[in-house]
Structure 1
Amino acid sequence: MSVAGLRTAARETVSGLPREFWWLWLSTLVNRLGAFVATFMALYLTLDRGYSASYAGLVAALHGLGGVISSLGAGVMTDRLGRRPTMLIAQLSTAVSVAVLGVMVHPFAIAGVAFLVGMASNASRPAVQAMMADIVPPKDRVRAFSLNYWAINLGFAVSSAAAGFIAEYSYLAGFIGEALMTLVCAVLVFVKVPESRPAQAPVKTVDGKRAKDEVRLTTVLRDGRFMGVVGLSFLVSLIFQQGYVGLPVAMGADGLSSSDFGTAIAVNGVLIVALQIPVTRFIQHRDPRRLLIISSLLAGYGFGLTAFAGSVAVYALTVCVWTLAEIVNAPTQTGLVVQLSPAQGRGRYQGVYTMSWSVAALVAPLMSGFVIDHYGAAWLWGACAVIGTVAALGYWLLMRNLPREETPGEENVPEPAPVPAQARPDQAEPDPAAAVAAAVVVERAV
């Protein structure tokens, strides 16, 4: 493609999106540029603090558990308090808890604060995704989610390299740096990102009493098709997680070093940064059902091919296969979640969806460790192929009658307009006790 063609493609990729989206995108990029804890927690605990690998694993599990819990709480907060307040609370809580974690020395204190960091850092995800769905028209959502995912990986790639140098100087500097970058995100959201929560549904009268047609958490859990998508998301993310828990163990068993693993897994980040935008241009107007089926098969059999790897080059080749699946799956699946979510319940729906990834992050290490120890790595990769096939079949069954989102004229049907909280006289006064409890629940990407 010529230089002019590349410029045209780039312009078409980024044009037409609301200004508010780009401020939100910038806050995501800044947030991932400051990532440190998730990347270097294990090395910090074992090398700097001298704790055992088992203790480091326990802390990582508590960090993940915090993310599981906050996914639901943050989803509720996103719908009740609003997208912007939830993001601000989550980011401020993350900044404080990360800074505190850097100065903790007692093992119980480290574990407890790591749990809080997991809660806080994960709580902004439902709000960010719900806000993007609010402000971006349906026809552009896959493109917007893809650009956001690209920012996450670009920021994470840069921060991982920078954090390695920072860790050689001072781990504490890494914690403080992440806290400061998260504060910058909070400032960006506070100054530049307006609230986008749609207006509440019309008030109905039931037996002479006023009642709202409100989407509750139980509504989400009773939504059979959506919960099926959440279950399939769990299966797919369980596969992707093996790139960070099963793959290094398998490569070590083959006599390869940690630097060999770093070389192989770096292919993942490089390909996402290089291909996410052009691949999105190719898939953004294609049938999401086919894309999810194909990406599930690519993920499963991409990891399945790892059973035949024995050198760094072959491992890197398998990473190429499942990375392509990741590039296609991430924005498509997020767009599907929005398509299945009512506007007033987007926070709760996104929270339950986010939880599927958090639970997978907890289950994947247990799964890989058990299978490798008892049966060998080849069985793990075979299981990934089976899981990918099951997920592909599940998407086909669930979405056979799913209507296309972009029907003629749909983009001209406005969603309920966002209005300030004080302009809703029908909205109940917040319960102070519930607000305190919600704040406790609040808060990477890939």
Structure 2
Amino acid sequence: MLAPGVFVNAVSSLTFVFVFVYLTGPRGLSVTEAGLVTGIGGIGLIAGNFTGGGYGDRFGHRRVLLAASALAGGGLVLLPMLPTGALVAALPLAQYALGAIRSANAALVAVIVPEGVRRQAFAVVRCVSNGGFTLGPPLGALIATGLSYDWLFVADGVGTLFFALWTARVVPAARGAARTSAAAPDGGLGRGAWRELRARPAVLTLLGAILVVDVVYRQQYSTFPVYLADHGLDTGAYGLIIALNGAVILVLELPAAVALRARPPLRVIGAGLLLVGAGYGALLLGTGIAAAVAMMVLLSLGEILYKTPATAYVADQAPAHSIGLYQSLYAGVSASGVVLGPPLGGALYSAAPGLLWPMCVVLAAGAGAAVLWAHAAQQRRAPRTPRPAHETGSQPKAVAG
């Protein structure tokens, strides 16, 4: 029931693709000024990811999701009416709320779905979200050219407000509340929460690996199209290759979640990170369309293997009173490449183009090896402990709603 709201919200998420064009076009900002505003907005987005779930532990995940959706939706609707100078403050605030929605929604799914089937649940949410994001950009292009860029923000805001209303309708307040009041008083990583996190070294290793891999993964949106252009492939070819990513995920995400539900999550995640590295390694074999297609297929398969199981694993490992905090930590590191990826990849590509893809291979392979090592260490520490439900794929007993 929650998934249709996620889908509509994803379809209407139009502004993230066109905000830079909007700022340099109708708003008349220079490229440098637009880069500064979008950069600050990106920082706000990451900050929202890092905090939204933690606040949910204190105030209730449903309540935080509704508040963040109302703030983001209302802000996006009003943005076209604001003077250009006010955008510097208003856009990052809206981006912060959008980031908080992402982590609060993940925490809400983790709370209302029992351990043992969270992988499948997160796969459903990711599948409908990717479907929405596939439809959103071409729809946004039609709105921008047929009406105006201002209507993009209105549509995005209305879609976000619809998501809030839909969530309020289909998720009862009792199901979306915080599990317990024992969460950190500030909704963040207090001393007690930090001790609990350090007691879970596999989670810390996973978070570090995801942080590294997200910087690598995001190169497909920044340096990769530049690389294609430098080797004679135009924007149309890049668009088709990126569309292949969405197609592979839409076709295989749900079947993979079901087929691999009994596999140890860290082993699946580690394999996915290795596939991400293998994808960029394909670019070392040639500069044509075949190498680019192979890269995108391998990258998409790696994404399927690591993103959904990692989200579910972090939820399963979290104490009941800190599910939102752990989802915020994962959401934050899994989106950090949005801010870190372009400048780091761009600087390396400008200085030494031939080193970028080998570096991506090494970083992704190292991250995958670290997660596989964490799995082996976890097995050594508890060799006789029965495997938990999220590793065996066994179905939990029914619980009262």
Task: With the length of structure 1 as denominator, give the TM-score of the two structures.
Answer: 0.80
| Structure 1 partner of 2:355 | 379
| Structure 2 partner of 1:200 | 180
Label 1:397 to 1:313 Cα distance change in 2 as closer, same or farther (>3 A): closer
Post-superposition CA distance 1:8-56 (Å, at most 9, x none): xxxxxxxxxxxxxxx2212211110111111111222233334333333
User: CA offset at residue 109 of structure 1?
Assistant: 2.2
Determine the C-alpha separation between the residues in 2 that align with 1:152 and 1:61. Answer: 24
| Structure 1 partner of 2:189 | 217
**Letter of the structure 2 residue corresponding to residue 57 of structure 1:** G
User: CA offset at residue 408 of structure 1?
Assistant: 8.1
| Structure 2 partner of 1:9 | none
Post-superposition CA distance 1:270-313 (Å, at most 9, x none): 11112212222221221212211111110012012223442334
Post-superposition CA distance 1:326-382 (Å, at most 9, x none): 111111100110121011111111111111123221110111111011001x31111
Q: Equivalent of 1:99, from 77, 83, 91? A: 77
Q: Equivalent of 1:44, from 7, 15, 22? A: 22
User: CA offset at residue 248 of structure 1?
Assistant: 1.3
What's the C-alpha RMSD, in Å, of the aligned pairs? 2.5
Q: Equivalent of 1:53, from 22, 28, 31? A: 31
Determine the C-alpha separation between the residues in 1 that align with 2:392 and 2:223. Answer: 46
**Letter of the structure 2 residue corresponding to residue 380 of structure 1:** L
**1:265, 1:316 within 8 Å by CA — same for their partners in 2?**
no
**Letter of the structure 2 residue corresponding to residue 127 of structure 1:** A
**1:220, 1:349 within 8 Å by CA — same for their partners in 2?**
no
Determine the C-alpha separation between the residues in 2 that align with 1:274 and 1:45. Answer: 36
**1:62, 1:118 within 8 Å by CA — same for their partners in 2?**
no
Unaligned runs of 5+ in 1: 1-22, 203-210, 419-446
Q: Equivalent of 1:390, from 366, 370, 383? A: 366
| Structure 1 partner of 2:159 | 181
| Structure 2 partner of 1:329 | 306
| Structure 1 partner of 2:135 | 158
Label 1:409 to 1:320 Cα distance change in 2 as closer, same or farther (>3 A): closer
**1:216, 1:345 within 8 Å by CA — same for their partners in 2?**
no
SS of corresponding position for 1:200: coil
Label 1:409 to 1:370 Cα distance change in 2 as closer, same or farther (>3 A): closer
Label 1:214 to 1:179 Cα distance change in 2 as closer, same or farther (>3 A): closer
**Letter of the structure 2 residue corresponding to residue 74 of structure 1:** G
**2:282, 2:291 within 8 Å by CA — same for their partners in 1?**
no
SS of corresponding position for 2:154: helix
Post-superposition CA distance 1:174-216 (Å, at most 9, x none): 11111111111111112221132354268xxxxxxxx999986
User: CA offset at residue 138 of structure 1?
Assistant: 1.9
Work out which of the two has the higher radius of gyration on C-alpha atoms and give 1 or 2. 1
User: CA offset at residue 123 of structure 1?
Assistant: 0.4
| Structure 1 partner of 2:253 | 276
| Structure 2 partner of 1:115 | 92
| Structure 2 partner of 1:405 | 388
**1:221, 1:227 within 8 Å by CA — same for their partners in 2?**
no
**1:305, 1:381 within 8 Å by CA — same for their partners in 2?**
no
SS of corresponding position for 1:217: coil
| Structure 2 partner of 1:8 | none
**Letter of the structure 2 residue corresponding to residue 360 of structure 1:** G
Label 1:190 to 1:215 Cα distance change in 2 as closer, same or farther (>3 A): closer
**1:95, 1:180 within 8 Å by CA — same for their partners in 2?**
yes
Unaligned runs of 5+ in 2: 380-384
Is the aligned partner of 1:341 residue 2:313?
no
The 4+ residue runs of structure 1 with deviation greater than 4 A are: 211-216, 407-415
Label 1:266 to 1:47 Cα distance change in 2 as closer, same or farther (>3 A): farther
Determine the C-alpha separation between the residues in 2 that align with 1:201 and 1:62. Answer: 33
SS of corresponding position for 1:278: helix
Determine the C-alpha separation between the residues in 2 that align with 1:291 and 1:82. Answer: 31
**2:180, 2:320 within 8 Å by CA — same for their partners in 1?**
no
User: CA offset at residue 112 of structure 1?
Assistant: 2.0
Determine the C-alpha separation between the residues in 2 that align with 1:75 and 1:409. Answer: 26
**2:211, 2:336 within 8 Å by CA — same for their partners in 1?**
yes
Post-superposition CA distance 1:130-182 (Å, at most 9, x none): 22122222221111111110011000001112111111121111111111111
Label 1:410 to 1:296 Cα distance change in 2 as closer, same or farther (>3 A): closer
| Structure 2 partner of 1:190 | 168
Is the aligned partner of 1:297 residue 2:274?
yes
Label 1:212 to 1:330 Cα distance change in 2 as closer, same or farther (>3 A): closer
User: CA offset at residue 414 of structure 1?
Assistant: 8.4
**1:237, 1:357 within 8 Å by CA — same for their partners in 2?**
yes
Post-superposition CA distance 1:393-422 (Å, at most 9, x none): 21022222156331789865789x88xxxx
**Letter of the structure 2 residue corresponding to residue 172 of structure 1:** D
| Structure 2 partner of 1:429 | none
Label 1:33 to 1:47 Cα distance change in 2 as closer, same or farther (>3 A): same
**Letter of the structure 1 residue corresponding to residue 362 of structure 2:** V
Is the aligned partner of 1:31 residue 2:9?
yes
**2:270, 2:306 within 8 Å by CA — same for their partners in 1?**
no
Determine the C-alpha separation between the residues in 2 that align with 1:288 and 1:27. Answer: 28
Label 1:280 to 1:154 Cα distance change in 2 as closer, same or farther (>3 A): same
